[in-house]
Structure 1
Amino acid sequence: MSRPSADDDPHYGIRPGLTGPPSYAALPLLDPALPPIVAARLLSRVAAMITRPWIMTWLADALRPVPLDYVIAMWGLYFAGFLMVLRSGAQTGMLIVIVTVLMSVMGMQGSTTAETIRDGFMQAAFVALVVGPLVYLLVPPRTADKHVDDPLPGHGNAVTGAAIRTTVLLALSVWLYAVMQPTDMMMAVIAAMVLVFPTSRAVFSEAFQRLRATLFGAALALAALMGFTLSPHLPIILGLIFLGGLWLGQKMLFGPHPGMVYQYAFWVILALVAGALIIQNAGHAAFTRIVLTVTGAFSAACAVALLDALTGWRPLLKENLV
């Protein structure tokens, strides 16, 4: 994700702070089974958040009785998403991978869990559809031009690169199924996203960024929950979430790390606090996220980097030597 321009959108940093409180205000109204997915609103494309989980739920129900068919279908969907990203840098490929990871891992636990995740995506889509335009109406950008990311596609034999990432992610999905509770399903998103980037160097760089973002988000979430413990009133936690989002939003404009680090840290704050307030302990959740990120996502990143080096599917470009 490229850094937004402070000249074109000087108030960009305010919007993350403003999106948090309305999302939390929606939780008592929606009463979701998995509040973190609604509070964090991981995916911004509303149509994708509605249609793809329905398709994946149907597919999981149809194929679960035959494990081999289930695994082959998941491999094919992972491969399609990774191939799209490596060939064109399209965000749609990222969404395919993320939704497939969440739905396939949770679908292994049965129809009820898959339907819960599906309904959580629909509730998150509804919240995003309301909160997003409202925030932009309250704090409009200076320019009428929309901020557009400029993803860089990979080079070389993208089929080989996609096959490597697909196979590693499939193995990681089985591991996630063995160790992850439904309330910790955001770990699947971290694991998937560190594998999307096309070079070994980028994979490790992204893995460190995700770990850094998780640490930032966990620390701010624990600080907000400590403040809420001292004064357990809804306006207090909403105000602390706003301040955390405001700080990270400003860091997206001017911070030393890539903008995605701060954006992802804010997602972690929203998901951790939502889970802690309703269904889980924040300290345990933060620890679980960090441990799973290190052991799962980093191990997968190492495997991808090794296989990339062994296959040599992507030519070594000059910029990679800098």
Structure 2
Amino acid sequence: MYVTPRPVAAEDPHYGIRLGLTGALAYGAIPLLNPALPPIIAALPVGLVAAQRKAFDPGKLIGGVIAMIVLPWLMTWVVEWLRPMPLVYVTAVWALYFAGFLMILRSGAQAGMLIVVVTVLISVMGMHGTATVETLRDGFLQAALVTLVIGPLVYLVLPARTRDRHVDAPVPGGGRAVTGAAIRATVLLALSFWLYAVMQPSDMMMAVVASMVLVFPTRRTVFSEALQRIRATVYGGAVALGILALFTLSPHLPILLGLVFLGGLWLGQRMLFGAQPSMVYQYAFSVTLALVAGALSTQDPGYATFTRIVLTLTGAFAAAFAVAVLDGLTQWRGGAAGMAGAAGTGDTA
């Protein structure tokens, strides 16, 4: 699975400022749109903008926006069509998981990750009913349109120093990819039922944190990513609690936007210079935004943060352990040779 490398300060010295500004502008859109699921509006623009490296790439941003509009609409149609037939519905969800993981393991392409993420969110939300899944679909549409406005704006205000655009270099996983994809699809299907049982619809953006550990091809990287997701949840929860604590002293929108900006600035600078892999800090900011948005809408912030950390810990490690056991039993990667084929999937400076 291809991981976007660490941004380079010499190429993009304003990366941290841009990340904080993106988060603040996304939050500023929430009272204007009054969405049913504010965490999506808060987190999706940051995820798509933060994935940019070097100079602004409008094609990549527009492609991500289109994917976040089209895939939820298609998945909503599948859910509404198949939900009255539970066995067919579960089989179709497994098949979509399998297709996404197979794409990841065979090519390393991030398009497979988008298929997996959208299928997780829409299928689990679909278990709550048709109205709920349509709400999520509309939330993705709103968040994608917000991203289409914010993305070019923040790069216009704070352009990168280099004019070169980053080119992804995905690495195929190797081995018997069909077996690996089947293992991950089965474990994620079980994880989906667990997410449905323990998470509320407003928490579903956090489901990505637990499920994304499965997109990596080896036992070592699966456990490494599980630890990174948990670390990101802890970091993001700490920043969110700090923002909420200060916001309660002066509960005004400009104060909130300023605090979100500062939180994004700090985590963005850590992406440039921090000791942890840069994706830890990027995920942490998404966690922060989702936690603050959820806490300000319906939830107690302390309980919400604690719950998300526990759920992420439980889901991520249970899924990672299950994948590691099944990978060991099947040896689908072909031993040491297969391990070598996954080199280069980690974060790079």
Whether TM-score is above 0.5 comes out as yes
- Given residue 7 of structure 2, which amino acid in structure 1 is its aligned partner? P
d(CA) in 2 for partners of 1:227, 1:209: 27
In structure 2, the residue matched to 1:55 is 74
- Given residue 296 of structure 1, which amino acid in structure 2 is its aligned partner? G
- Given residue 262 of structure 1, which amino acid in structure 2 is its aligned partner? Y
d(CA) in 2 for partners of 1:152, 1:255: 25
d(CA) in 1 for partners of 2:207, 2:218: 21
CA displacement at 1:13 relative to structure 2: 1.7
d(CA) in 2 for partners of 1:5, 1:317: 32
Q: Find 2:203's aligned residue among 157, 161, 184.
A: 184
Contact residue 6 and residue 253 of structure 1 kept, 8 A: yes
Instruction: Write out aligned runs for 1:118-129 (5 A).
Output: 118-129=137-148
Contact residue 2 and residue 150 of structure 1 kept, 8 A: no
Q: Find 2:301's aligned residue among 261, 282, 291.
A: 282
> More displaced, 67-76 or 8-17?
8-17
Are 1:25 and 2:28 matched, yes or no? yes
d(CA) in 2 for partners of 1:121, 1:278: 18
CA displacement at 1:318 relative to structure 2: 6.6
CA offset digits 1:42-61 (Å, max 9, x no partner)? 65310011111111111101
Contact residue 213 and residue 265 of structure 1 kept, 8 A: yes
- Given residue 173 of structure 1, which amino acid in structure 2 is its aligned partner? S
CA displacement at 1:152 relative to structure 2: 2.8
In structure 2, the residue matched to 1:96 is 115
Instruction: Write out aligned runs for 1:145-156 (5 A).
Output: 145-156=164-175
Q: Find 2:97's aligned residue among 78, 92, 100.
A: 78
- Given residue 25 of structure 1, which amino acid in structure 2 is its aligned partner? G
CA displacement at 1:186 relative to structure 2: 1.9
In structure 1, the residue matched to 2:346 is none
In structure 1, the residue matched to 2:218 is 199
CA offset digits 1:172-200 (Å, max 9, x no partner)? 10111111100111232112211000000
- How high is the TM-score relative to the length of structure 2? 0.89
1:194 counterpart SS class = helix
In structure 1, the residue matched to 2:60 is none
CA displacement at 1:236 relative to structure 2: 1.4
Aligned length: 322
Q: Find 1:259's aligned residue among 254, 278, 295.
A: 278
d(CA) in 2 for partners of 1:289, 1:149: 31
Contact residue 174 and residue 338 of structure 2 kept, 8 A: no
Consecutive unaligned residues of structure 1, counting only runs of 5 or more, are none
1:237 counterpart SS class = helix
Task: Give the CA RMSD over aligned residues.
Answer: 1.5
Contact residue 203 and residue 294 of structure 2 kept, 8 A: no
- How high is the TM-score relative to the length of structure 1? 0.97
In structure 2, the residue matched to 1:162 is 181
Runs of 4+ in 1 over 2 A off after TM superposition: 147-153, 315-322
Instruction: Write out aligned runs for 1:228-267 (5 A).
Output: 228-267=247-286
> More displaced, 141-150 or 21-30?
141-150
> More displaced, 107-116 or 309-318?
309-318
In structure 1, the residue matched to 2:17 is 14
d(CA) in 2 for partners of 1:319, 1:259: 26
Are 1:307 and 2:310 matched, yes or no? no
- Given residue 108 of structure 1, which amino acid in structure 2 is its aligned partner? M
CA offset digits 1:56-100 (Å, max 9, x no partner)? 111101101110000010001000000001111111000000000
d(CA) in 2 for partners of 1:292, 1:113: 21
Contact residue 85 and residue 91 of structure 1 kept, 8 A: yes
CA offset digits 1:213-243 (Å, max 9, x no partner)? 0000000000010000111122211111111
1:7 counterpart SS class = coil
In structure 2, the residue matched to 1:37 is 40
Instruction: Write out aligned runs for 1:214-233 (5 A).
Output: 214-233=233-252
CA displacement at 1:302 relative to structure 2: 0.3
Note closer, same or farther for the CA distance 1:247–1:319 as it changes in structure 2 (3 Å cut): farther
